[in-house]
């Protein structure tokens, strides 16, 4: 029997909150034990050995000591602090959205190595300035799968008939796509039409690895459609709107209007 009071985990810090004057409570998603809450004593002091190692969006190896309620962080060695991601407003917002997604879909102490690997994969991709739209949608699909909400994309979620290459509909309460026939008969609340193209992309992403997924070239309207459908499903499952997503949407709007202004100005010149 292991009687050691300390143990080591590898994890990504999802969020932190202040505890008293100088301490912090960290929520960490670890590869070994799933989501954990630990206390970093003295982490708010500028001379703390943890400064910089306990910020969200940090991948680190941590030595924890068993505490009465929450375990205590005793040592932390950063593996990757995703510095490039943190230097870019858009990518930083994407990273925070990913962290909130993981935090919302996981419960403490429930281990999920594949989700941990996927989390590291997307953070590395965002850090390397990959196409953030593809990376986010692919990660959302992976997350749904590992959380037990893999959408049904092959057959109608109501009549179980194979889906035809036509405009279908995504029904969050049924956990997948429903055919136009069932959609009109059942009159569900679904507001998510899924084009043939979008369904093809979803099916491919559900079965392929990220290296294959990122080869797809998404047109703007298809990207919006995929985002719309997945967002509908996620907010239905969580029963709430993720706050970081609102920030992401706001930034997207601002960046688009900025691009439009730049294009108009170029045209004037």
Partner 1 sequence: MAFVAEPLAKLIAEFNKLPGIGPKSAQRLAYHLLRSSEEEARALAEAILAVKEKVKLCSVCFNTTDCDPCSICRDTQRDHSKICVVEKPSDVIPLERTGKFRGTYHVLHGTINPNKGIGPEDLKIRELLSRLQNGIVSEVIIATSPNVESETTALYLQQIIKPLRIRVTRLARGLPFGAELEYADDLTLGQALENRQEF
Out of 10, 25, 78, 235, point to the residue binding partner 1 (CB under 8 A).
78
User: Which of 29, 40, 71, 97 is close enough to bind partner 1 by CB under 8 A?
Assistant: 97
Number of residues near partner 1 (by CB under 8 A): 32
Q: Which stretch binds partner 1 (CB under 8 A): 79-87, 106-114, 167-175, 181-189?
A: 79-87
Instruction: Identify which range of 95-103, 151-159, 196-204, 217-225 contacts partner 1 by CB under 8 A.
Output: 95-103
Among 112, 118, 132, 244, binds partner 1 (CB under 8 A): 244
- What is the Cα–Cα distance from 243 to 17, expressed in whole angstroms? 17
- Using CB under 8 A, which of 4, 47, 162, 211 touches partner 1? 47
Q: Which stretch binds partner 1 (CB under 8 A): 149-157, 219-227, 231-239, 243-251?
A: 243-251
| Binding-site member from 46, 148, 162, 267 for partner 1 (CB under 8 A) | 46
CB of 72 to partner 1, least distance (A): 17
| Radius of gyration for the alpha carbons in the chain, expressed in angstroms and rounded | 21
Smallest distance, Å, CB 46 to partner 1? Answer: 5
50 vs 169, which CB is nearer to partner 1?
A: 50
Shortest reach from residue 261's CB to partner 1, in Å? 9
- Look-up of token digits 């239905």: 236
User: Between 4 and 266, whose beta carbon lies closer to partner 1?
Assistant: 266
- The backbone torsions φ and ψ at residue 139, rounded to the nearest 5 degrees and listed phi first, read -65, -40
Q: Residues 57, 85: contact at Cβ < 8 Å? A: yes
With respect to partner 1, which residue has the nearer C-beta, 24 or 233?
A: 24
By CB under 8 A, tell whether 53 contacts partner 1. Answer: yes
> Site for partner 1 (CB under 8 A): which residue of 10, 25, 63, 81?
81
DSSP the chain: ----SEEEEEEEEEEEEEETTTEEEEEEEETTTEEEEEEETTTTSTT-TTTTTSSSS-EEEEEEE--SSSEEEEEEEEEE--HHHHTSHHHHHHHHHHHHHHHHH--BT---HHHHHHHHHHHHHHHTT--HHHHHHHHHHHHHHHTT---B-SB-TTT-PBPPSS-EEEEGGGTEEE-HHHHHHH-----EEE-HHHHHHHHHHHHS-HHHHTT----HHHHHHHHHHHHHHHHHHHTS--HHHHHHHHHHHHHHHHHHHHHHHHHH-
Least CB distance from residue 19 to partner 1, whole Å?
11
Is residue 154 a contact point for partner 1 (CB under 8 A)?
Answer: no
Which two tokens mark 150? Answer: 């893999």
> Residue 226 and residue 229: Cα distance in Å, rounded?
5
- 23, 71, 100, 140: which one contacts partner 1 (CB under 8 A)? 100
Binding site for partner 1 (CB under 8 A): 15, 20-21, 46-47, 49-53, 55-57, 78, 81, 83, 86-89, 92-93, 96-97, 99-100, 243-244, 246-248, 250
């Amino acid at each position: 029997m292991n009687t050691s009071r300390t143990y080591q985990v590898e994890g990504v810090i999802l969020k932190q909150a202040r505890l008293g004057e100088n301490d912090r409570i960290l929520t960490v998603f670890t590869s070994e034990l799933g989501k954990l809450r630990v206390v970093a004593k003295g982490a708010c002091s500028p001379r703390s050995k943890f400064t910089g190692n306990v910020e969200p969006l940090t991948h680190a190896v941590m030595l924890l000591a068993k505490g009465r309620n929450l375990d205590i962080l005793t040592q932390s060695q950063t593996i990757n602090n995703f510095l490039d991601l943190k230097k870019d407003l858009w990518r930083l917002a994407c990273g925070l959205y990913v962290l909130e997604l993981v935090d919302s879909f996981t419960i403490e102490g429930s281990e999920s190595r594949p989700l941990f690997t996927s989390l590291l994969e997307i953070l590395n991709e965002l850090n390397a300035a990959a196409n953030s739209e593809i990376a986010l949608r692919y990660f959302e699909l992976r997350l749904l799968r590992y959380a037990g909400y893999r959408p049904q994309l092959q057959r109608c979620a109501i009549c179980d008939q194979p889906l035809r290459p036509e405009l279908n509909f995504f029904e969050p309460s049924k956990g997948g796509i429903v055919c136009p026939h069932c959609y009109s008969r059942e009159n569900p609340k679904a507001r998510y039409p899924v084009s043939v193209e979008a369904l093809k992309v979803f099916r491919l992403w559900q079965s392929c690895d990220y290296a294959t997924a990122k080869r797809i070239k998404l047109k703007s309207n298809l990207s919006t459609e995929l985002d719309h459908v997945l967002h509908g499903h996620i907010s239905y499952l969580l029963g709430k709107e993720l706050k970081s997503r609102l920030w992401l949407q706001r930034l997207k709007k601002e960046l688009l209007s900025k691009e439009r202004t730049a294009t108009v100005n170029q045209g004037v010149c």
